[in-house]
Amino acid sequence: MKIFTVQQLAEADKVTIEKQGITSEELMERAAGLVFKEIHARLNNESVPIKIICGIGNNGGDGLVVGRLLIEHGYYVSIYVVNFTKERSRDFLSNYNKIKEIGAPWPTLLKGAEDFPELHPKDFVIDAIFGIGLNRPPEGWVADLIHYINASGAFILSIDMPSGLFSTKTPEPGDAVIKANYTLTFQAPKLVYYLPKTAEFVGNYQVLNIGLDYEYLAAAPAEAQLIDKEEAKNLYIPRKNFSHKGDYGHSMIIGGSYGKIGSISLSAKAALRTGAGLVTIYSPECGYEILQSILPEAMVIIDEGEKELKNIQFEPEPDVICFGMGAGISAATVKTFESLLKKTKSPMVIDADGLNMLSNNKGFLKLIPKNSVLTPHPKELERLLGEWKDDFDKLAKAKEFTNKYEVILVIKDAHSITVSGDNLYINNTGNPGMATAGAGDVLAGVITSLISQKYEPLIAAVFATYLHGKAGDIAASKLSYQGMIAGDIVDNIGAAFLDLFKNDDRGME
Ligand SMILES: NC(=O)C1=CN([C@@H]2O[C@H](COP(=O)(O)OP(=O)(O)OC[C@H]3O[C@@H](n4cnc5c(N)ncnc54)[C@H](O)[C@@H]3O)[C@@H](O)[C@H]2O)[C@@H](O)CC1
Ligand SMILES: Nc1ncnc2c1ncn2[C@@H]1O[C@H](COP(=O)(O)OP(=O)(O)O)[C@@H](O)[C@H]1O
Ligand SMILES: [K+]
C-alpha cells in the first residue's frame, strides 16, 4: 500500500472533488460517514457517554458530522468546539449549522481551561481537534486541553491523526499530542504510524477508503510503500517442478567465534528453511563439530583460526555470502573481512559484527559490493550513520548512505524499513516476541537465501523482512511473545510461505 505525503492527500482531495463532481462538503460527509459506521459497528448502540472534541478546521468538521450521525442513531453525545479562533473552515461551518437543524443541543464552546468538560475513564472521547492541517505545535490552553484529555483515562479515538502529531516531525518530550487508543484515518496510512517515536501516539489504526481519485493516487510517487501480504505475495517467485538444488543457489554463511557459534547456525538454518539449494557455513575451527552435529543439512568449512576467523579462504565461490553474525571484531578478523570485501564482487549480506567493523573502519565502506544488503538494528545503525536528530533525520541520513555506497539498508525495528536510494519499504509484520537473541541472525539467513535463489537484493530484503516477521507472528500465536525464541522463527518460515496463499485459489504454484 502506498503511503502519501499530506500535500499529496490534499491534492487528491481537490482532484477527487473536481473529477467526481462533488462538493468538499459531500466528501466530508462521505469520509466522516465511514468513521460513524465503524464506531456504530463497534458500540452497537451501547449507552456509553460519547464526547466529541472538535477543532475549527475540516478535522473538526468531520467530528461534527460524526456527532450528528451518532445523535440521529440515538447515542448519548456531547459535542465541544475548541474555540481558539474565529477563522472556521467553510465545511466546518455548514456542519455546525446542521447540528442545529436536527434539533440537537448546540455544541459547547471551549474558550479556556475553565470550560474543560468533565471526562471520566468510562467516556468514549472522539478527538477531532487537528488532523493533517496542523501547522504549528498546539500552545496555551489548547495544549493543556490535549494533556487533560490524555490524563482522563477515557478511551480516545482520533479522527485521521492524533491531534498535535505532525506528519513530518517527531514530538519533543512534553509536547501536546493526543495519545490515541485507536485512530481511524482516511485513504492511506501516514508514515508517522510506523516510526518508533511517533507510532505510540496512534495506537491501533484502521484505514478507511474514502474513494479519492484512483488515477491520481496510482500516478503519485509514494513517500513509502507499506508491505503487507498483498505486496509480499507479488514478490514471490514460484518453484518449477523440474528444478534441482543447483537452481536455488549456494549460500555461504561466514561468522561465529568461540561461544557464538549458535548465531551462524541460526542464519544457516534460516537460509535452508527459506529454500536455498545449498548452504555452507564458514566458521572458526571450534565450530566444526557443533555445526555438523546440529545442522546435518549444511556443509561446514573451517578457518585456520581456532576461536575466531583469521584467514577466510574457500572454494568453490558461492552465489552469495552473508558475513558477520557472532564474528567478533578482533584485529585478525577485521583484516580477513577487509580481504573478503576486496575479493567479493557479487552482492553480500552484512550483519552484526560485520556492520560494527564497517563502522570502526569507514574506509571499508567503499569496498562493499554494489547492491549488498546491510541489516543494522538501531544501535548498529547509529554507529554506521552517526547520531540523528529524530526519525525523519534518520531516514534522510539512511537514504544518503544508500545513495552514496549503492547499498540497501534494512533498518531493523518494530516496523523494519528497507531503504534503497530514495525508496522506503515499511514492513508490517512482526511482534515484540521477536525482541529475542538471534532473531536478527535469522533475518540475515532469510535474505541470503532469497538472493541465492535469484531474487534481486532489494526484493530479497523486502520480502525476507516480511516473511521473517510473519514467521515470528505465527510462532507467537503458538507460543506467546515471551515463550518464543529465535529458533521458533526459523521453524515457522515454511508456515509464513504457506500463509501468503491462504484464502487464495492461486496456491503456491
Ligand atoms: N484530505 C482528505 O482526504 C480529507 C480530509 N478531511 C479532513 O480534513 C482534515 C484536514 O483539515 P484542515 O486542512 O482544515 O486542517 P485541520 O482541521 O487538521 O486543521 C487545523 C486548523 O487549525 C489551524 N491550526 C493548525 N495548527 C494549529 C495550532 N497548533 N493551533 C491552533 N490552530 C492550528 C489550521 O490553520 C487549520 O485551520 C483531515 O485531517 C481530515 O480530518 C475530510 O473531511 C475529508 C477528506
Ligand atoms: N517489537 C518488535 N516488533 C517487531 N519486530 C521486532 C521487534 N523487536 C525485534 N524485532 C525484529 O527482530 C529482529 C531482531 O534483530 P537483532 O536486534 O539484530 O537481534 P539479534 O542481534 O539478537 O539477532 C529484527 O529483525 C527486528 O525487526
Ligand atoms: K484528530
pLDDT digits (tens, 9 = 90+) for 62-112: 999 999 999 999 999 999 999 988 899 999 999 999 998 888 888 999 999
Residue 59 Cα to ligand 1 middle (Å):
5
Nine-digit cell at 392? 525523519
Question: Which ligand is closest to the CA of 127, given by its number?
Answer: 3
Look-up: residue for cell 504454484? 509
Ligand 1 atom nearest the C-alpha of 16 is 3
Residue 134 Cα to ligand 1 middle (Å):
6
**In terms of DSSP bridges, do strands 417-420 and 155-159 run parallel, antiparallel, or are they unpaired?**
unpaired
415 labeled binding residue: yes
pLDDT of residue 507: 47
Question: Which ligand is closest to the CA of 185, given by its number?
Answer: 1
What's the CA gap between 351 and 412, in Å, rounded?
11
Q: At what angle do helices 6-19 and 24-43 cross, to 10 degrees?
A: 110
78 labeled binding residue: no
pLDDT of residue 136: 94
Residue 440 Cα to ligand 2 middle (Å):
6
What's the CA gap between 448 and 249, in Å, rounded?
10
247 labeled binding residue: no
Pick the residue whose CA is nearest to atom 19 on ligand 1: 133
Instruction: Decide: 273 in ligand 2 pocket, CB within 6 A.
Output: no
Nine-digit cell at 314? 574457500
Instruction: Decide: 415 in ligand 2 pocket, CB within 6 A.
Output: no
Instruction: Decide: 164 in ligand 1 pocket, CB within 6 A.
Output: no
pLDDT of residue 105: 86
DSSP 15-55: HHHHHTT--HHHHHHHHHHHHHHHHHHHHTT----EEEEE-
Residue 340 and residue 312 in contact, taking contact as beta carbons nearer than 8 Å: yes
Pick the residue whose CA is nearest to atom 37 on ligand 1: 57
pLDDT of residue 471: 98
Instruction: Decide: 440 in ligand 2 pocket, CB within 6 A.
Output: yes
Length of the chain: 509
Burial of 500 (0-12, 13-18, 19+ CB in 10 A): buried
Question: How far does Cα 482 stand from its chain's mean position?
Answer: 21
Residue 139 Cα to ligand 3 middle (Å):
16
What's the CA gap between 340 and 299, in Å, rounded?
20
Q: Apex CA 60: angle with CA 100 and CA 120, to 5°?
A: 90
Write the DSSP symbol of residue 249: -
Please give the chain's pLDDT, 509 residues, in tens.
Answer: 999 999 999 999 999 999 999 999 999 999 999 999 999 999 998 889 999 999 999 999 999 999 999 999 999 999 999 998 889 999 999 999 999 888 888 899 999 999 999 999 999 999 999 999 999 999 999 999 999 999 999 999 999 999 999 999 999 999 999 999 999 999 999 999 999 999 999 999 999 999 999 999 999 999 999 999 999 999 999 998 888 888 889 999 999 999 999 999 999 999 999 999 999 999 999 999 999 999 999 999 999 999 999 999 999 999 999 999 999 999 999 999 999 999 999 999 999 999 999 999 999 999 999 999 999 999 999 999 999 999 999 999 999 999 999 999 999 999 999 999 999 999 999 999 999 999 999 999 999 999 999 999 999 999 999 999 999 999 999 999 999 999 999 999 999 999 999 986 544 44
- Residue 322 backbone dihedrals phi, psi, to 5 degrees: -115, 125
pLDDT of residue 240: 87
Closest Cα to residue 487, out of 299, 256, 267, 280?
267
Question: Which ligand is closest to the CA of 489, given by its number?
Answer: 2
Residue 468 Cα to ligand 2 middle (Å):
10
> Both ends of the chain: CA-CA distance in Å?
24
Instruction: Decide: 84 in ligand 1 pocket, CB within 6 A.
Output: yes
What's the CA gap between 226 and 231, in Å, rounded?
8
pLDDT of residue 509: 44
State the fold for domain 2-218: Rossmann fold (3.40.50)
Three-state DSSP class for 250? strand
What's the CA gap between 290 and 314, in Å, rounded?
20
Residue 411 Cα to ligand 2 middle (Å):
10
Instruction: Decide: 412 in ligand 2 pocket, CB within 6 A.
Output: yes
Instruction: Decide: 433 in ligand 2 pocket, CB within 6 A.
Output: no
State the fold for domain 246-500: UDP-N-acetylmuramoyl-L-alanine:D-glutamate ligase (3.40.1190)
What is the sign of the dihedral through the CA atoms of 353, 359, 362 and 367?
positive
Pick the residue whose CA is nearest to atom 43 on ligand 1: 28
Burial of 230 (0-12, 13-18, 19+ CB in 10 A): exposed
Burial of 495 (0-12, 13-18, 19+ CB in 10 A): middle
Q: How many CB atoms lie within 10 A of CB 73?
A: 13
Q: What is the ipTM of this complex?
A: 0.90
Residue 466 and residue 429 in contact, taking contact as beta carbons nearer than 8 Å: yes
Residue 3 Cα to ligand 1 middle (Å):
19
61 labeled binding residue: yes
Look-up: residue for cell 484505514? 207
In the 3-class helix/strand/coil scheme, how is 444-507 assigned residue by residue? HHHHHHHHHCCCCHHHHHHHHHHHHHHHHHHHHHHHHHHHCCHHHHHHCHHHHHHHHCCCCCCC
Closest Cα to residue 351, out of 439, 219, 247?
439
Distances (CA, A) of 28 to 32, 100, 210: 6, 18, 9
403 labeled binding residue: no
Residue 1 Cα to ligand 2 middle (Å):
23
Instruction: For residue 371, give the amino acid letter.
Output: N
Ligand 1 atom nearest the C-alpha of 61 is 43
Pick the residue whose CA is nearest to atom 25 on ligand 1: 134
Nine-digit cell at 241? 517442478
Look-up: residue for cell 468546539? 81
Domain boundaries, the chain: 2-218, 246-500
Pick the residue whose CA is nearest to atom 13 on ligand 1: 133
Ligand 2 atom nearest the C-alpha of 465 is 25
What is the sign of the dihedral through the CA atoms of 429, 435, 441 and 442?
negative
Burial of 140 (0-12, 13-18, 19+ CB in 10 A): exposed
Instruction: For residue 269, give the amino acid letter.
Output: K
